[in-house]
């Protein structure tokens, strides 16, 4: 199902000056069949049409058939070629590619932490090797805010220069340590006059293509609302999060790829913190359903936080949060309703 035209228009309006270097170029993308990838691919195709770029994209996917079923308008588009393979061991496609986007994620199925680490690190090493072999000029790596580890309660927003406690064991050690190692691989692979590696540390998002039946609280809340059921909060509702709408996410990622400083991480997300309870109440109000919170908060326990400081992206790249959270929830719900109808 295609993305809302108003979202694609928003992306093109905010990125119009970035597309000329992509004219007649070939792009290689990993992870392009997931949430991030669908937004990047569809906005690329919209730019192709708008600016007559004649750009092409080769998309690495483990399951081409599943992607063709999920997004046939993307999988069958003449500007997109699907390459079957695993990110850790794919065969290099022939020819030159000027841009590489490495947005692959580990499997959604439960796997040991060591497997998370191996897939992230070996996959990144493989993509970097390909980027060098194909003569790529720029590479975007979608990292994660998880690299910071547990956010201290006294730190309201995590800046990119936050001093990471590398002795502490993070909640998801394989994922966190894998992303940290992969970032360093990208930094080490970049060099003046050659490959420019750009790093986007991504936090939490909402928008079409976000799964409603996975581990994303906002997706689960929207699912409850679409069913007309009470919004169910499994915990006590105190953790603090923030959510950037996916059309803004696409603008941020294309901008970092085009204009971000090489080897310099940029936080990607919203700086507008709210508790999970407040998020659930917002969704409940939009759908007109009640909210049920499973556990009573412990007043002596500080609320867990996962909120970025986005000053660097705003000051250096002119990025912003243009689409408010409530509007993003409404657009996400409308897109899913269209798919159900």
Handedness of CA 251, 35, 264, 310 (dihedral sign): positive
The DSSP 8-state label assigned to residue 1 in this structure reads: -
Query: Over 83-129, what HEC string results?
Result: EECCCCCCCCCCCCCCEEEECCCCCCCCCCHHHHHHHHHHHHHHHHH
Q: Identify the pLDDT of residue 113.
A: 85
Query: Domains in the chain, please, with CATH?
Result: 5-206+244-270+308-324 (3.40.50.720)
Q: Which residues contact 143 (CB under 8 A, 6 or more apart)?
A: 179, 182, 183, 199, 200, 201, 202, 265
pLDDT by residue, tens only, the chain of 341 residues: 899 999 999 999 999 999 999 999 999 999 988 999 999 999 999 999 999 999 999 999 999 999 999 999 999 999 999 999 999 999 999 999 999 999 987 645 567 888 889 999 999 999 999 999 999 999 999 999 999 999 999 999 999 999 988 888 888 899 999 999 999 999 999 877 789 999 999 999 999 999 998 889 999 999 999 999 999 999 999 999 999 999 999 999 999 999 999 999 999 999 999 999 999 999 999 999 999 999 999 999 999 999 999 999 999 999 999 999 999 999 999 999 987 64
Report how far Cα 255 is from the mean position of its chain's Cα atoms: 14
Q: Identify the pLDDT of residue 340.
A: 61
What b/e string do you get for 193-210 counting C-beta neighbours within 10 Å, with b at 16 or more? eebbbbbbbbbbbbbbbb
Q: Identify the pLDDT of residue 64.
A: 95
The per-residue DSSP string of 255-271 comes to: HHHHHSPTT-EEEES--
Q: Which residues contact 326 (CB under 8 A, 6 or more apart)?
A: 282, 286
Q: Identify the pLDDT of residue 106.
A: 60
Phi and psi at residue 230, to the nearest 5°: -60, 145
Q: Identify the pLDDT of residue 109.
A: 55
List pLDDT tens digits, range 256-265: 999 999 999 9
The DSSP 8-state label assigned to residue 229 in this structure reads: P
Q: Identify the pLDDT of residue 171.
A: 84
Q: Identify the pLDDT of residue 169.
A: 84
Give whole-number Cα distances, 238 to 87, 93, 233, 235, 330, in Å: 37, 48, 10, 8, 23
Q: Helical H runs in the chain?
A: 5-15, 35-51, 64-70, 72-75, 113-133, 173-189, 217-227, 246-259, 276-287, 311-317, 325-340
């Amino acid at each position: 199902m295609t993305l809302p035209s108003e979202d694609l228009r928003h992306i093109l309006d905010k990125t119009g000056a970035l597309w000329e270097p992509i004219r007649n170029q070939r792009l290689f993308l990993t992870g392009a069949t997931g949430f991030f990838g669908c937004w990047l691919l569809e906005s690329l195709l919209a730019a192709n049409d708008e600016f007559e770029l004649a750009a092409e994209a080769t998309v690495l996917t483990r399951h081409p058939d599943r992607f063709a079923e999920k997004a046939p308008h993307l999988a069958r588009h003449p500007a997109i070629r699907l390459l079957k393979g695993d990110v850790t061991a794919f065969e290099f496609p022939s020819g030159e590619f000027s841009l590489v986007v490495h947005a692959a994620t580990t499997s959604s199925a439960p796997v040991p932490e060591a497997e998370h680490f191996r897939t992230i690190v070996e996959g990144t090493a493989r993509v970097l090797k390909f980027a060098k072999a194909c003569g790529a000029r720029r590479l975007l790596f979608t990292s994660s805010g998880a690299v910071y580890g547990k956010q201290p309660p006294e730190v309201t927003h995590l800046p990119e220069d936050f001093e990471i406690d590398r002795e502490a064991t993070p909640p998801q050690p394989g994922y966190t340590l894998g992303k940290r190692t992969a970032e360093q691989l990208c930094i080490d692979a970049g060099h003046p006059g050659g490959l420019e590696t750009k790093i986007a540390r991504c936090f939490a998002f909402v928008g079409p293509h976000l799964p409603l039946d996975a581990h994303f609280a906002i997706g689960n809340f929207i699912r409850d609302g679409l069913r007309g059921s009470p919004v169910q909060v499994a915990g006590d509702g105190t953790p603090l999060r923030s959510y950037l709408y996916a059309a803004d996410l696409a603008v941020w990622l294309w901008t970092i790829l085009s204009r971000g400083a090489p080897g310099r991480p940029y936080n990607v997300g919203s700086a507008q913190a709210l508790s999970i309870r407040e998020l659930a109440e917002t969704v409940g109000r939009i759908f007109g359903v009640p909210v049920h919170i499973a556990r009573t908060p412990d007043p002596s326990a500080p609320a867990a936080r996962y909120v970025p400081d986005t000053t660097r992206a705003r000051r250096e790249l002119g990025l912003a949060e243009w689409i408010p959270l409530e509007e993003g929830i409404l657009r996400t719900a409308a897109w899913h309703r269209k798919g159900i109808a």
